[in-house]
Amino acid sequence: MDESARRRAANDASGRPDLGPLAHAARRSLNGEHPGLTGTMLPPLVDHHVHLMLVGADALADTALAGVVDLGAPLDLVTARRHHDGLPNAEFAGAFLTARGGYPAGRSWAAEGSVREIDERAGDGRGSLPSPAEAAVAEQLAFGASVIKVVLNTAAGPVLDRGTLDAVVAAAHERDLPVVAHVEGDGMARLAIDAGVDALAHTPFTERVDDELIGRAVALGQRWISTLFINGYGEPSPDFDRAVDNLRRFHDAGGRVLYGTDLGNGVQPLGLNPAELAALSLAGLSAPEVIGALVDPWPLRERAAGIVTFVAGPPPATPEDLPGWLASASIVPTEDLERL
């Protein structure tokens, strides 16, 4: 089925896009705020790539986001948020793990303590002391990290050698921590896939990932976090075109796509970014698939309890209306809604 036919099949008899099984017509309680208002109920929304050290620890408190995954922050911010009661719920990678002198070490935007440089693996591995990779992973976990972030960016400096990267992945998996990789530069997507990394922090944007490698990523169960908008910030760019093409083929091959913005990188709205949602549609995701990428709780341990997403008014009239419609969402208590 070609793309236009697939999109037509995703529309209901009225011509409106079918929102899929996660969306339910709902009405707000007659006893609460906005009594009797009708709309659509969705699971809690998640941005799978943010940087609270750049936007502010509490900057997303009044948005429609119920969960965020912070992929690079100082460990003191991680510990400060461990027992935070307010929304959004946050999971942290802790510091960027990178090679000695590798990206983003020395960058003005990288707050003190947000980068952890790892020396290459040395020796025969039979010593009693943990390797530098094992020590770095254990340190992130001790401070409250629930995911590990590695940086593989040949465009901006040295990267972890294969042996050290393997040691990071092994140490993380031994502790039940998924590994997310920033890949940038020739061969970096292949390096991450060869090493068994669980997710890519960005859809690859500096090189075309061939179909064979995409197939291996899908077979591995790898997830790709979208972050398409930052490749040009709404202006045409080769990086944006490459990223959309890579994500389209990954998605068509059965790959699991997660909504993420890299919030804090450039000028973006706090909360949902309609332009990122529109880019997901451009990459071939149907309305239910865009919603699925947005509500997937991975790697959060569980969905936020006691709350749901509510979008007031009628559902979007066309697929092109979906991003703006979703951007009008709010968080409400589950008990405030009844399904229709």
Q: How far apart are CA 140 and CA 136, in angstroms?
A: 7
> Residue 295: CB partners within 8 Å, gap ≥ 6?
22, 42, 43, 44, 45, 46, 309
**For residues 307-323, b (16+ Cβ closer than 10 Å) or e, as one string?**
bbbbbbeebbeebeebb
What mean pLDDT comes out for the span 252-275? 97
For the record, the structure tokens of 1 come out as: 């089925």
Q: How far apart are CA 167 and CA 134, in angstroms?
A: 7
The residue written with tokens 């990459």 in the block is 283
Task: Answer yes or no: is pLDDT of 8 > 50.
Answer: no
* CA triple 236-10-234, angle to 5 deg: 15
Q: What is the pLDDT of residues 101-136, one digit of tens each?
A: 999 999 999 999 999 999 986 655 555 567 999 999
Q: Give every strand in the sheet of 89-92, ordered side by side.
A: 45-50, 65-70, 89-92
Nearest C-alpha neighbor of 42 from the set 277, 303, 229? 303
Q: What is the pLDDT of residues 174-193, one digit of tens each?
A: 999 999 999 999 999 999 99
> What pLDDT does residue 278 have?
98
Q: How far apart are CA 155 and CA 135, in angstroms?
A: 27
What mean pLDDT comes out for the span 309-321? 96
Which residues, listed in sequence order, are joined to residue 257 by a DSSP beta bridge?
224
Q: How far apart are CA 326 and CA 323, in angstroms?
A: 5
**Which amino acid would we find at residue 201?**
A
> What pLDDT does residue 125 have?
52
What mean pLDDT comes out for the span 184-204? 98
Q: How far apart are CA 23 and CA 268, in angstroms?
A: 26
Give the three-class secondary structure for 13.
coil
3 — pLDDT class (breaks 50, 70, 90): very low
What proportion of the chain, given as a percentage, has pLDDT over 90? 86
> What pLDDT does residue 305 have?
82
Task: Answer yes or no: is pLDDT of 203 > 90.
Answer: yes
Q: What is the pLDDT of residues 129-180, one digit of tens each?
A: 679 999 999 999 999 999 999 999 999 999 999 999 999 999 999 999 999 9
Q: What is the pLDDT of residues 45-83, one digit of tens each?
A: 999 999 999 999 999 999 999 999 999 999 999 998 877
Q: Which pTM does this prediction carry? A: 0.93
How buried is residue 193: exposed, middle or buried, by Cβ count under 10 Å (0-12/13-18/19+)? buried
Nearest C-alpha neighbor of 247 from the set 220, 272, 222? 222
Task: Answer yes or no: is pLDDT of 33 > 80.
Answer: no
